[in-house]
Each structure stands twice: as C-alpha cells, then as structure tokens.
Amino acid sequence: MSELIWRPTAEYLDGSNLSRFMARYGIGSYEEMVRRSVEDVAWYWSQVERDLGLEWDRPYDRVLDTHQGIEWATWFGGGLINIAHNCVDRHAAGDAAERTAVIEEREDGSVRSLTYRDLAAEVGRLANGLRSIGIAKGDRVGVYLPMCVESVVSMMAIAKIGAVYLPIFSGFAPAAVAARLEDAGARALISADGYTHRGRLVEMKEAADEAAHMIHLHTTLILRHVGRPVEWHRKHDVVWDELLAEQPAEAPTEATEAEDVWMIAYTSGTTGKPKGAVHVHGGFLVKVAAEVAYQVDCRPGDVLHWVTDMGWIMGPWETVGTLALGGTVLLYEGAPTHPAPDRLWALCERHGVTILGVSPTLIRSLMPSGTGPVEAHDLSRLRILASTGEPWNPEPYRWYFEHAGGGRCPVINLSGGTEIGACLLSPYPITELKVATLRGPSLGMDVDVVDAGGNPVRGGVGELICRQPWPSMTRGIWGDPDRYLATYWSAIPGVWRHGDWASIDEDGFWFLHGRSDDTINVAGRRIGPAEIESVLVGDPAVVEAAVIGIPHDVKGEALWCFCVLAGAPDEGLATRLGDLVDRAIGRPFRPERVVFVPDLPHTRSAKIVRRAIRAVVRGEDPGDISSLENPDSLAVIGSALASQQV
C-alpha cells in the first residue's frame, strides 16, 4: 500500500466546480459521485450540460440512443447546438466580452491576446471569408498552423459555418499532411508561411504547397505569420489578411445538429494509414467542457496552459473546454525548453497560469537541470497541475508535485485518447492521491479492468475497458466502419477495449501500466515497460528510458533497455542498471541488453514511440512515424546498436 501524497484542502472540498455539482444533487462523497454517474449515464450527462449552462438552439428530446447498438450510440438527439456559439458568441455578447479569451506567446517572446469580443470578430470575418471562397456546411477544412491565435480562430470559424475541422500536427512533413487531407476529402487547407521551433524556422508554406500538389487541392488559405518572402500561387493561394480585410465581423452561426460532425482527429496506427476519429458538436462539447470544469476545475478568470499542439487531442480539449467555461487559454508556439530549461516556468509566471498540463516525458527532460529553473519563478498562482500522455514514473511525478506545485496542488493525471475525445480515467480536486495514480474513472465512464475473458481483475494487471457509451466517443473511423469495429469492439463483444494495461490497488486507486501492445512476456510473466523504466530512471545517471521486448528462443521475449544519460556512461553502468532491475522487479526480468542512446523517438506531445525502437532492432517497418518530432533518432539508435555490441 503506497502512502497518500496529497489530501484535498477545504479550498477544493468546498469551492471546486465538482463540489458545487455534488451539493446540488445531494451527493456526499467521491465514491457516491462515481456510482451515480454510471448507474444512469443519461441522467448524469443531461445534468452536466445544464450545470455548465450550455446553450442549445433547440433542446434535445432524448439524451442517449443505442438502437443501432452501443458501438453506434448517439447523444442529445433532436437538439441543435454549435461549438462556436458556446465557446465564443455567447461570451462576446455577455459580461465576458472584455475578458481575455486567448493568449499567444512565441519563442521570440512576442505576445498577442484577444478578448472574447475580439475573438468573435475575427471568427466572424474568417467564417464569412470561408463562405466567400465556397466552403459550406459539411466540407472538411484542414488546419495546419502553429500554436497561434489564428489556430483558435480557424477552429471556431469552421465550427461556426458547420464545416468539419481537420487539425493537423504543425510538425508534419508534406506527405503526412497530404495523407490526412486526402483521407478526409478536404476542400481546403489553412496554413502559414512558417514559425520557429527551437530557434529554427519551420517552412510551413512550402510543406503546404507540396501537400496540396500531391492531392490536387485547389484552395490553400495562408497566414503571413512570420512575414518572410514566400512563393505565392494565385491559382490556389488565398492570403489570410487580404481575405479577412474584405469581410464584416458579424456572421451567422450555423444551426448544427448535436450529431453533426465537427472534427476529424487523426491518430497514428502501428500499421496502415492513420485513423480519423469522428467527433460531433454536441457530445464533444458536453464531455470536454465537463472535464475541464470538474477535473481541472477551470472557471472564468483561470488561465489554462497545456504543452501541446492542435494536432494532438489535448489542443482541441484545452481550447473547447476552456472557452466553453469562459476561461483564458494560453498557447505557446515553440519548445518549452527553449532557449533555456526555465522557459515553461517563466511562461507560467508571466501569464499567471493557474492550470498547467504537461506530459511525464517533459518533466523527465527538465529534471536534469535541477530545481533552480523552477525556483527562479513565482508559480504561486498555480492551483491545478495536470498531466497525460503516458504512465508516470514515481520520481518525476514527485518532482512535478513538489517543485512545480510546491506540494500544494493536486496532480490531475488523466488518460484517454483521440478516439475517446476526452478521458477514461482521472482524479478530481476532491480526491486523495497516491504517487502516479489516476485515482479512478472519469465521471460518466463505466470503466473496468478485466482479463482476456472480460472478467474483472483486482490485485493484478488487466485490460482497460468501458462498458457503456459516452458523449464524446468517436462516431467511427472516417470512411472505415469495419476498422473501427475491429479496433475497439472485437475483443469483447459490446465492450470498448482501449488497449491500455491498468490495475486497481487494495484502496481502490487506479494506475496505468502502458499500452497493451507494448506489454512484454518474459517466460510467461507479463509486464509493462513503464514498471521497468521507472526503476532505470531511478538511477541518477539515467534521464529517460524505453524498454521493449525482443523475441527470445527460451524466454519468449527478452528485455532490451534504451537509456538516455545525463552525461558519459560510467564504467559498469549497464551492469549496475541490470542489478537495479534484479532487485526491484526480479531476476527473470534482468535486461538482456542495455543500450545508451542520445535520444529516444518522441511525438511532439512527448510520447515515447516504443514500437519504432522495436522495429529498428528487428529490422522491420515501424509503421506510421509521421508524428515523430525527431525521426532521425531511429537512425541514431541503429548506430548505437551497431557500436555497442555485446
């Protein structure tokens, strides 16, 4: 039994959004709240949207409809609701009009911001501009922009006219951009001339041109973001400021059905083309607004910053959720460690961030710089720390809790996915916490941990599943319903299998153990890589680690460990690390190889892509690696393997 690291104070028990909701319905405890939310999911979600004050153009007449099966559940049938109205229009027309809606900071330190009134005007101009170039309800529009104000304007203008928002990771190469545009059948692409990342110019215009040429896309709307000279193609290029200069600020908002598609969010697969998760106006808005309200406790006046990109689900999550609640979303365009390891903390101090979201990998990368960069900045306004992306190791979790939050802020460690549209698991500000826990189910999510037969598992590791639908559940994979059913619903009929290993301890605290497709089977004993990686990064010489399983004639699989070091390796370090694993996990799990590498393959959201490492070792196709920020790391790993022969 691990000890509690945090207990909620009166500020959270009495003053949080969730405590207010519970008091409204006479719910006395967290456990009762979880139980009530899944006993009748239709009741819960109908009360949530009312509690949050979301506005409908026409009320819905049924909350949940499963007549086509749980796999194709629909929500808020008969209702008309639009994300742009709820995130922009209603605030601009009310008391929040002069409140800051969006702040953008670039790597060079320049800052821009828009009030809700300003945002509504820009959204209106772009909505009119899109209509003027022939974009209509249902048309798919790709958005390939850095984390700038215009990325939010684009998202909301597309929603406003009832078109379909297609966010594309700002670091993608042309082929990856083209693949997503082509799969979605996009009518247009919104992009920029460029941006800077780690002090380097990223030439987006050229990438957008090449992608458009690959699929014969006829319309690209280009933002002059850095103002550099670029080649203009007047046959298909439209210049952002020229288009908007001709448009009025007032624009009608499309009356969209709750089940009208508003976003196709692509997630990379281990094989085959990326999967386009389909999300709709009503369900996504209700679920995400609820999470930002109840999990990270966002309120008007809060400044929320998540280290992310719009091409990762947390970009739309933070934007839609924060703006729906009348808060302020802070976007940072650049690397959070550039030009120095205090950049993130300086950003938080400068803009008074109250809610901060990171990945565990980012914290691991900051730890070698020590606590000085954190302590140099006033982070007293922080009241919620959050995280997602992958399982935590204990020491980085403690570092984040103790140094970023001063031991006074809960770590809302949540887990979901692009297809979830939000979260399966999450703590709440009213819950006690253990190190690295996710505490339990996200409210309204009927989740469980089961074995291969679908039977509940307690006291061990099993598959994370969900037994009932939820509002933001993907409405399928765009253009491929069979793949959707095979990917999520085929393992246990009528049950969503997410692909994560999880466990529930004797006190009812939930923990993640990594992706089930990363699980390693050593002599019949299954183990997740995160457990061994936690041991490795516990050695002060190791900054980051990735563990994979490689076929072995006797054991079935053997462990290979790839470690990024704080400095040059000491003599005998590999042996020392093997001994650490022996003592902490057991002799059968001693690594067969420990390889020292300068970098591990990461996505921009800082997830380690273990399958790519495994593919390098085995000489196989790594699948879709278009989301990697550092694809060159794979060649470096190959060189390290060759030079560090056992």
How many CA atoms are closer than 13 Å to the CA of 473, on its beta-carbon side? Answer: 27
Q: Work out the percent of the chain whose per-residue pLDDT is above 70.
A: 98
Tokens of 129: 């501009």
Identify the pLDDT of residue 461. 87
pLDDT digits (tens, 9 = 90+) for 128-163: 999 999 999 999 999 999 999 999 999 999 999 999
pLDDT digits (tens, 9 = 90+) for 431-465: 999 999 999 999 999 999 999 899 999 988 899 99
Q: Provide the residue ranges of all domains of the chain, joining segments of one domain with +.
A: 13-336+417-423+472-514, 519-643
Per-residue pLDDT at 488 exceeds 80: yes
Among 425, 404, 218, CA closest to 307: 404
The residue written with tokens 């072995």 in the block is: 552
Among 442, 469, 465, CA closest to 454: 465
Residues 6+ apart with CB under 8 A from 533: 393, 545, 546, 547, 561
- Is the CATH number 3.30.300.30 carried by domain 519-643? yes
pLDDT digits (tens, 9 = 90+) for 55-97: 999 999 999 999 999 999 999 999 999 999 999 999 999 999 9
Q: How confident is the model at residue 645 (pLDDT cuts 50, 70, 90)?
A: low
Q: What DSSP designation does 369 have?
A: G
Q: Cα torsion for 286, 292, 295, 301, to the nearest 10°?
A: -140
pLDDT digits (tens, 9 = 90+) for 262-317: 999 998 654 457 899 999 999 999 999 999 999 999 999 999 999 999 999 999 99
pLDDT digits (tens, 9 = 90+) for 317-333: 999 999 999 999 999 99
Average pLDDT of the chain? 93
Identify the pLDDT of residue 270. 44
| Fold of the 13-336+417-423+472-514 domain | Rossmann fold (3.40.50)
| pTM for the whole structure | 0.88
Contacts 24+ apart (CB under 8 A), 25-29: none
Tokens of 276: 């386009």
